């Protein structure tokens, strides 16, 4: 029981796919200009991730090692295509706003990463929990970034006016920077900074050491 | 003895080691087969919804374009809401056809039907559409009996998809009142910018042809000068060329050329 809960809660902060593993950044930048697109993208990715983890885990004992990546990608790609067609049928305007980014879930390292690192070696139930935990971790970051960008970029949340704009007689001047991709980088950077102050064990060791004159003199 | 029970074959297959060649091939085939069945099933069942969405989009962009044209509000107010008259035109002769109900005429279906369409000679097919319907819809807006606006449905190959657009012409049948794309699958962020309002705003006021009737309108890659040139989209050369070719085709002899000539002539007579 305790182990199951760990599968679910670890990816929220401790091994969060975006802030610790820095995966899925492309979509986190592109679809977070508003909360509603971030919400749809989170939903789409969660469904794909959960189904792909369940499928791959249930056939894990019979995946030939030599073609396992191809098999995993085939499964993920079919799920993404179905998801994309589903959105185009029932949420046409939303799918137009998300344009290619639903299709690009195929290339989201997070989905293949969970399949390869977890679902391939674990039974179905833990794989399901792992997928659920990871999609919650991903969605949480996406929603935080989306909420900040929409609130300060347009003064709205899910389309409702929260901060009265100057042009409508209020006091809030929208920050246009929030609509541009760099703002998502800043917000993600701050999030990662805050999390690593709180959990210093997430700080990575420097990969390179810059030589100083003292180092050079040492034998 | 030969074992004919397929269940036993299946068990034996699963019992094979995972790096066995037969098992690899069978599993690869099964995964590909299942995946394709699921994808095709979804494509077929969701197709009616996709078509309905595209149709809604098409109508929305037509009424949006007509409503956004300068001066259109006044005209619309003058004649009420149902202002757009739909006509069916015989493209070869340029005559109106009365015995086809415009409401039930599906132009895209007609373009595929060999009885209702004709192939275009390769050298004339600059828009890359290969097969052209014999009859086409045109939308005409009138005020007090005078033509105010003619809207033509056009299409042509861009970089990687068919571009579908409406071209609106003013009463002189030579000045562009507006251009709007309602369906395209160009690269998002590059060719797909033909849908951007800023780019479409470059079109109104441009002229189709010079005094001799030669079609001059084109998308150019350096700075556009004069009434016949529109700035291209940087990075989307082939999409921009596709738009040019599309207009040249549909304004030419194989497109609405005969119809537009007749329409101009009828205006001069009155």
Q: Strand (E) positions, B144-235?
A: 146-157, 162-170, 176-183, 218-220, 229-231
> Residue A74: which of B35, B56, B188 has the nearest Cβ?
B35
* pLDDT at residue B68, as a whole number: 65
Stretch A135-163: mean pLDDT = 89
Alpha carbon distance B108, B127 (integer Å): 16
Residues of A in Cβ contact (< 8 Å) with B20 = 64
Residues of B in Cβ contact (< 8 Å) with A70 = 28
* pLDDT at residue B180, as a whole number: 86
Q: Report if pTM > 0.90.
A: no
Gyration radius (Cα) of chain A, Å: 20
Could you identify the residue written with the tokens 């492309």?
Answer: A26
Residue B5 has pLDDT above 60, yes or no: yes
Q: Which residue does chain B place closest to A62, by CA atoms?
A: B18
Q: Is A90 on the interface with B (CB under 8 A)?
A: yes
Stretch B146-175: mean pLDDT = 87
Could you identify the residue written with the tokens 């006091």?
Answer: A171
Residues of A in Cβ contact (< 8 Å) with B49 = 88-90
Phi then psi for residue B222, to 5 deg, are -100, -170
Q: How confident is the model at residue B79 (pLDDT cuts 50, 70, 90)?
A: very low
pLDDT tens-digit series, residues B15-40: 888 888 888 999 999 999 999 999 99
What are the residues whose beta carbons fall under 8 Å from the beta carbon of B236, sequence distance 6 or more?
B159, B186, B187, B190, B191, B193, B194
* pLDDT at residue B34, as a whole number: 95
CB A36 within 8 A of CB A117: no
Q: Is B37 on the interface with A (CB under 8 A)?
A: no
Residues of B in Cβ contact (< 8 Å) with A63 = 18, 27
Q: Which residue does chain B place closest to A90, by CA atoms?
A: B49
Bigger pLDDT: B1 vs A73: A73
Does B188 contact A65 at a Cβ distance shorter than 8 Å? no
A69 vs chain B: nearest CA distance in angstroms?
Answer: 11
Alpha carbon distance B99, B102 (integer Å): 9
Q: How confident is the model at residue B81 (pLDDT cuts 50, 70, 90)?
A: very low
Cα B248 to chain centroid distance, Å, stands at: 14
Domain ranges for chain A: 2-202
A66 vs chain B: nearest CA distance in angstroms?
Answer: 7
Query: Which of A51, A58, A64 to mutate: most B Cβ within 10 Å?
Result: A64
Q: Is B36 on the interface with A (CB under 8 A)?
A: yes
* pLDDT at residue B80, as a whole number: 44
pLDDT tens-digit series, residues A165-201: 887 777 888 888 888 888 999 999 999 999 999 988 8
Closest residue by Cα to residue B183 from B206, B155, B208, B202: B155
Q: How many CB pairs under 8 A join A and B?
A: 61
Does A62 contact B49 at a Cβ distance shorter than 8 Å? no
Q: How confident is the model at residue A125 (pLDDT cuts 50, 70, 90)?
A: very high
Residues of A in Cβ contact (< 8 Å) with B188 = 99-100
Strand partners, B181: B165
* pLDDT at residue B12, as a whole number: 84
Residue B70 has pLDDT above 60, yes or no: no
Phi then psi for residue B181, to 5 deg, are -100, 130
* pLDDT at residue B225, as a whole number: 85
* pLDDT at residue B48, as a whole number: 92
Alpha carbon distance B164, A78 (integer Å): 29
* DSSP class of A115: I
> Residue B27: which of A64, A77, A90 has the nearest Cβ?
A64
Phi then psi for residue B212, to 5 deg, are -80, 0
pLDDT tens-digit series, residues B227-266: 889 998 888 899 999 999 999 999 988 889 899 888 888 8
Domain ranges for chain B: 1-68, 70-269
Residue A61 has pLDDT above 80, yes or no: yes
Bigger pLDDT: B205 vs B102: B205
Q: What's the whole-number average pLDDT of chain B?
A: 83
SS3 B119: strand
Residue B169 has pLDDT above 70, yes or no: yes
Does B24 contact A86 at a Cβ distance shorter than 8 Å? no
SS3 A65: helix
Q: How many CB atoms are closer than 10 A to CB A127?
A: 26
SS3 A215: helix
* pLDDT at residue B222, as a whole number: 82
Phi then psi for residue A214, to 5 deg, are -65, -45
ipTM exceeding 0.90?
Answer: no
Alpha carbon distance A137, A131 (integer Å): 10
pLDDT tens-digit series, residues B87-136: 888 888 888 888 777 767 778 888 888 888 888 888 888 888 888 888 88
Strand partners, A160: A157
* pLDDT at residue B1, as a whole number: 58
B54: its two tokens: 């595209």
């Amino acid at each position: 029981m305790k182990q199951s809960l760990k599968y679910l809660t670890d990816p929220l902060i401790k091994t969060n796919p975006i802030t610790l593993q820095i995966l899925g950044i492309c979509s986190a930048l592109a679809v977070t200009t508003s909360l509603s697109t971030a919400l749809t993208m989170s939903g789409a990715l969660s469904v794909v991730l959960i189904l792909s983890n369940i499928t791959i885990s249930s056939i894990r004992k019979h995946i030939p090692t030599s073609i396992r990546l191809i098999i995993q990608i085939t499964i993920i790609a079919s799920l993404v295509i179905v998801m994309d067609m589903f959105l185009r049928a029932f949420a046409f305007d939303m799918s137009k706003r998300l344009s290619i980014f639903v299709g690009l879930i195929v290339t989201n390292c997070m989905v293949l990463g969970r399949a390869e690192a977890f679902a391939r070696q674990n039974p179905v139930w833990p794989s399901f929990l792992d997928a659920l935990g990871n999609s919650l971790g991903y969605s949480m970051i996406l929603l935080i970034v989306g909420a900040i960008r929409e609130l300060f970029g347009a003064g709205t949340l899910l389309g409702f006016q929260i901060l009265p704009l100057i042009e409508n007689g209020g006091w809030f001047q929208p920050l246009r920077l929030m609509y541009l991709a760099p703002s998502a980088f800043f917000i993600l950077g701050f999030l990662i900074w805050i999390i690593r102050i709180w959990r210093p064990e997430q700080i990575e060791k420097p990969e390179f050491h810059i030589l100083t004159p003292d180092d050079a003199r040492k034998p | 003895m030969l074992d004919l029970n397929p269940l036993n074959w299946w068990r034996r297959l699963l019992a094979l080691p995972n790096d066995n060649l037969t098992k690899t091939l069978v599993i690869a085939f099964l995964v590909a087969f299942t995946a394709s069945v699921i994808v095709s099933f979804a494509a077929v069942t969701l197709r009616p919804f996709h078509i309905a969405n595209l149709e809604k989009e098409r109508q929305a962009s037509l009424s949006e374009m007509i409503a956004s044209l300068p001066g259109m509000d006044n005209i619309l107010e003058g004649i009420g809401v149902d202002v757009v008259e739909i006509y069916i035109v015989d493209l070869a002769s340029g005559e109106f056809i009365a015995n086809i109900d415009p409401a039930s005429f599906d132009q895209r279906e007609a373009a595929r039907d060999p009885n209702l369409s004709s192939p275009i000679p390769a050298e004339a097919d600059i828009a890359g559409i290969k097969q052209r319907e014999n009859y086409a819809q045109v939308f005409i807006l009138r005020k007090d009996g005078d033509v105010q606006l003619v809207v033509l449905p056009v299409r042509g190959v861009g970089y990687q998809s068919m571009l579908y657009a409406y071209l609106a012409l003013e009463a002189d049948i030579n000045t562009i009142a507006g251009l709007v794309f309602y369906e395209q699958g160009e690269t998002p962020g590059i060719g797909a910018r033909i849908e951007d309002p800023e780019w479409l705003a470059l079109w109104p006021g441009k002229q189709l042809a010079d005094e001799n009737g030669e079609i001059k309108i084109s998308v150019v890659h350096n700075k556009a000068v004069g009434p016949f040139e529109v700035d291209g989209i940087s990075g989307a050369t082939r999409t921009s060329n596709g738009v040019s070719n599309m207009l040249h085709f549909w304004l030419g002899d194989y497109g609405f050329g005969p119809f537009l000539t007749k329409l101009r002539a009828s205006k001069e007579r009155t």
